[in-house]
Structures are given as C-alpha cells and as structure tokens.
Amino acid sequence: MQAEEMLKSVQSRLAAMTIYDVRQVAREVRAHVTSGQKGAIIESVLNIATGKEEPAPASKRGAPPKSERYDTRLVADVRALRNYYLSVNNIEEPNKVAVRDSVSYYSEKEYSGYLGNDGAAYYLLAEEKLFVSDHLVLRHDLRTGDYIRCKGRKKNEAALAGAVEILSINGFSADEKLQRRDFSSLTHIYPEKRLVLSGSGDISQRMIDLFAPVALGQRGVVCAPVNCGKTYILKSVALGICANYRDLEVIILTLGARPEEITEFRKSGGNFRLFYTSFDRPDEEHLAVANVAFDYAKRCVELQKNVVILADGLYESLPAEAVRNYLYCALNAEEGGSLTVIAATPQDADVSGAANMVLNLSPALKAQRVFPAIDILNSYSSREEALLSEEELSLAVALRTKLSSGASAGEIVEYFKATDNNRSLAEMIKNG
C-alpha cells in the first residue's frame, strides 16, 4: 500500500469511529486537540501523520481517560506514515538521536519469521527478534502475520538487528505485487466443502467424520474437562487433514502447554505450523503468539488459501473477549479461501450461538476407560445433511438410535474397532 492509500485508509477508519475512539487515538499520537468537533480532531491526527504538526508535549493535566484502550493498528499506521513523510522531506524528529554514518555494520544474514507489531514498532518474530522499518512495511505493503524472508544486520552488539532487504512474503517473491483483499472485507457463507479425516485407521477420526463432520470455514469446539483427551483429539484432526489434504495450511496453536505436549506435537510427523507458549509464560506472551498465529492465517486467506487452526488453551490463557474475536475469524469466504477454527474449550464454556460444530468429550466415558471418550448424542455439526452422504447420514442416525435405546458407548466404540470402514460398520449394525 502506498503512503497516499494508507493515509486515505487512516482517514476513512477515523471517520467511521465514534468521537470517543477518535479521541483515544488522538491522545495516543499526541495530536493537538483544541476543539470538541470530531472533524477537527481527525484533521489534527492527519496533520501528525503527514508531519505537518509536531506532537503536543506530554502532559498530565486534566482528567485521566476512562480507558487506556485504543486501536493499536491505527496508531501504528499513523506513526508509520509520520516516519515516512518526515523521511521523504528530510525532517528529523525533535530529540531523535541520529545514527552516525561511521557506525560499522555487522555482516548481513538471512532471517525468516512472522511480522508482528507491538503498537510502537514492527518486528519479525524469529529466532532472533528483528526490527522492520516503517519504510519497508510501506514499500512492500506488509501486514501483521505475513511470513517474511529477509536479509538483516546489526548496527552494534547492543542493537536489535534490522531488516535491510525483503526477499519473499508468504512464499512469493518480494518483487511480485501481491493481489489480496482485506480479510475484514470478505463475505461469510455457510461451510460447504467437507474435510474427511479418516484413512489411517484412527477410530476417533472415523467417529468425528460421522457424528461431527468438519468442513472448510467451520467454527468448531471440542468441549472437554481436564485430562479427557482433547489434546489427542486435536492432534488426530490435524494429522487426518495433513494426510488427506496436502494443499491446506494447517496451524496448531497451543497456549500454556506443558513441555511434553509441545514435544509430542513436534514429533507427530504432521505437516503443520506449530505456534505455542508454555505454562510458565506471562499472559501478554500468550496473547502475542495467538495474534501472530491468527494474523498469519488471515494473510493466507487473503491470498485465497484454505487454512485450518486447531487451538488449545485459548479459554485458559486469554480474556473471554479475545477468544470470541478469534472464533469469529472462522469463515468460508464467498470470494475464495477459508479459515476453519476448531478450539478446545472447558465443558462449562458458553458456545451457544457461536459454534457450528461441537464435539463433546465425556468424563463419565473416560472414567469407564472408553477411548475416544466422544459423547455421540451431544456431538454434532450444523447442516450435517449437506456434508454427509445418504449412507453416512443413515449410519449416524442408526448408531445414535442404538445408543439412545440402551446400547453403551463402549459397545459403539467396539463396533468401530471391529470394522475398517463405514460400509462394513453399516453391515454389522444391520445384522444386529
């Protein structure tokens, strides 16, 4: 995005805000607010962005704001624009320390990672944190979550390494102009294309295929108490998708995980991207990693890719508002591409009205040593008649009927263990 386009975007986003939110942005960028009119406040913010005004001196006078919350991405864009306009006009910020030309640079090396933004600066989340200048962000129309390969170098031992050349963005050469929509502009439609998990002999995959089928763009939850097998179920879903759909982007996001769980995911052999934090990390790190994972997924969908995120630990590690926002990201885009989100939730979590796929795990079945402990009667996918074939739908109804008529869950699991596919399972049920 060129500077002029970004400036227009900032102006339109400010115009769409309430005057309260505009004031919060103006306060953060230290715009000169001399009028209570929304238009005048917006004009002052734009003057800060284009370098026409100097930021107002920091002051503690007046009543404190009722909230410290503001649109961090919008504020970052205002700051990026200001840096750009000041640089093209050869204007130095007051009190800004200039880097001497004589400072020697360390040799360049290649970095790769995900672009993040902490509200003050862009950086690359890699093995070594890498600063990415606003100039490079503007030149290549970079967005948070983009997976970038670049060259970087240090100015001195104490300095953070900085990117000097972008090589590729999400697998495309940096010389290519990416044609992509904004994720927020995509149109939500109902999930239509089913993802078949089974094929490796995993019973849990076959049971999910029948009783809670997964589809592109679904918003799914795996409801389970602690130690009921939800992590195993998420891994099973991931491996089923990786094995059957090589062109899908599969992401596993696990927050507050135990180190042995992280090791198990790494050794599972699935072709997926793993984002994680361990349980000893602070809350802000959980949120930062979740933001990067979902931002990367959005960038892929903007390029019309199909992405699946399997998330564990969201409810335990993040505020409820953040979790709802992440679940809302799930969509089957009318314009092409999809984002499927399947998240593990506590059994008492309120998912009514949000999820269109629910897989319940039963602590009673776990106590009876029935694995997988899938509660068949309380697991479902919305519009499953559009996802299952007639034979599969008949089989699912027959098994649910058998269970509600007195058969135990253990017997149903044994039916799956005794057969290799749904056709032989249907014959077994038909013959009693």
Residue 275 CA from chain centroid, whole number: 10
Average pLDDT over residues 210-236: 93
CB of 154 closer than 8 Å to CB of 164: no
**Whole-number pLDDT of residue 101:** 33
* Separation of alpha carbons 291 and 118, rounded Å: 11
Residue 319: is the preceding peptide bond cis (ω within 30°)?
no
Q: How far is CA 236 from CA 115, 264, 380, in A?
A: 29, 12, 18
**Whole-number pLDDT of residue 203:** 94
Angle at 320 between CA 318 and CA 323, to 5 degrees: 70
Structure tokens at 68: 């410290």
**Whole-number pLDDT of residue 2:** 64
* Separation of alpha carbons 342 and 336, rounded Å: 20
| 272 phi-psi bin (left φ>0, alpha ψ -120 to 50, beta other) | beta
Banded model confidence at residue 92, pLDDT cuts 50, 70, 90: low
Banded model confidence at residue 135, pLDDT cuts 50, 70, 90: confident
pTM: 0.76
pLDDT above 90: percentage of residues in the chain: 58
CB of 59 closer than 8 Å to CB of 79: no
pLDDT at 306 over 90: yes
3-state DSSP helix/strand/coil % of the chain, to nearest 5: 40, 20, 40
| 311 phi/psi in degrees, rounded to 5 | -115, 135
**Whole-number pLDDT of residue 59:** 54
**Whole-number pLDDT of residue 51:** 86
Residue 83 CA from chain centroid, whole number: 29
Q: How far is CA 25 from CA 19, 46, 80, 114, 198, in A?
A: 10, 11, 14, 26, 50
> CA neighbours within 13 Å on the CB side: how many for 83?
18
pLDDT at 100 over 60: no
In this predicted model, what pLDDT tens digit does every residue of 387-401 receive, in sequence order?
Answer: 999 999 999 999 999
| 253 phi/psi in degrees, rounded to 5 | -120, 115
Q: How far is CA 348 from CA 198, 223, 245, in A?
A: 29, 8, 33
DSSP codes joined into one string, 98-166: PPPTTPPPPPPEEEEEEEEE-SS-EEEESSS-EEE-HHHHHHTT--TT-EEEEEEE-SSTTSPEEEEEE
pLDDT above 70: percentage of residues in the chain: 91
**Whole-number pLDDT of residue 54:** 86
| 69 phi-psi bin (left φ>0, alpha ψ -120 to 50, beta other) | beta
pLDDT at 353 over 80: no
* Separation of alpha carbons 204 and 59, rounded Å: 60
Banded model confidence at residue 178, pLDDT cuts 50, 70, 90: confident
Banded model confidence at residue 307, pLDDT cuts 50, 70, 90: very high
Three-state secondary structure call for residue 427: helix
pLDDT at 69 over 80: no
Average pLDDT over residues 288-302: 96
